[in-house]
Amino acid sequence: MECGNGPFHPVIMKLCFRDNVFSGIIHPMQLFYHVSKKHVFVDPTTGSLVVEEEWVNRMKVIFKLASACYDSDSHDNPMTCYVYKDGDTSFILKAKKPDYSHELIHLRDFYTHARQEADVIELFMREQFIKLFFIEKY
């Protein structure tokens, strides 16, 4: 099976949740559908999009690594990121494997409580993504 020329694309990144549950990513942009409500949200008082700077810095590194995996000719070993629990309604992606699996969020908690809504992510992609991830500050 030749992945590059057919309908199948290789997994470039595995997201590891609690209890050894994995989700595969085949394109770097899919990372942004794994965004916490805490890190990107619409401010209810102003209606403006709020993007946490520390999250942007961390995601820049992960996005660059995922992009390098995507552009690579070798897809034998997908990069693994772990979905750490960050309070009751939030999570953080990290490349470091946790010491204990209870540090990771359950997949059901990710979908039920922590993952940002698709419309907010799409707003982020339209308004902020290019500026934050491709235009370097001098």
88-131 confidence digits (pLDDT tens): 778 888 889 999 989 999 999 988 888 899 999 999 998 888 88
Predicted confidence (pLDDT) per residue in 61-96, tens digit: 888 888 888 887 776 788 899 999 988 778 888 889
Strand 13-17's sheet: what is its strand order?
21-25, 13-17, 79-85, 91-94
Q: Which residue has the higher pLDDT, 129 or 137?
A: 129
* Predicted pLDDT at 137: 43
Has residue 5 been placed in a domain? no
Has residue 116 been placed in a domain? yes
What is the secondary structure of 97-131 as a DSSP string?
PPSSGGGBPPHHHIIIIIBPPHHHHHHHHHHTHHH
Instruction: Please count the structural domains in the chain.
Output: 1
Has residue 7 been placed in a domain? no
Domain housing 25: 14-133
**Neighbouring C-alpha atoms within 13 Å toward the C-beta of 103:** 11
Residue with tokens 């500050």: 137
Has residue 8 been placed in a domain? no
pLDDT over threshold 80, residue 13: yes
Q: Model confidence at 134, in pLDDT bands (50, 70, 90)?
A: confident
pTM: 0.78
Tell me the two tokens of residue 62.
């992960």
pLDDT over threshold 60, residue 1: no
Handedness of CA 88, 93, 98, 104 (dihedral sign): positive
Has residue 44 been placed in a domain? yes
- Residue 8, phi then psi, degrees to nearest 5: -95, 140
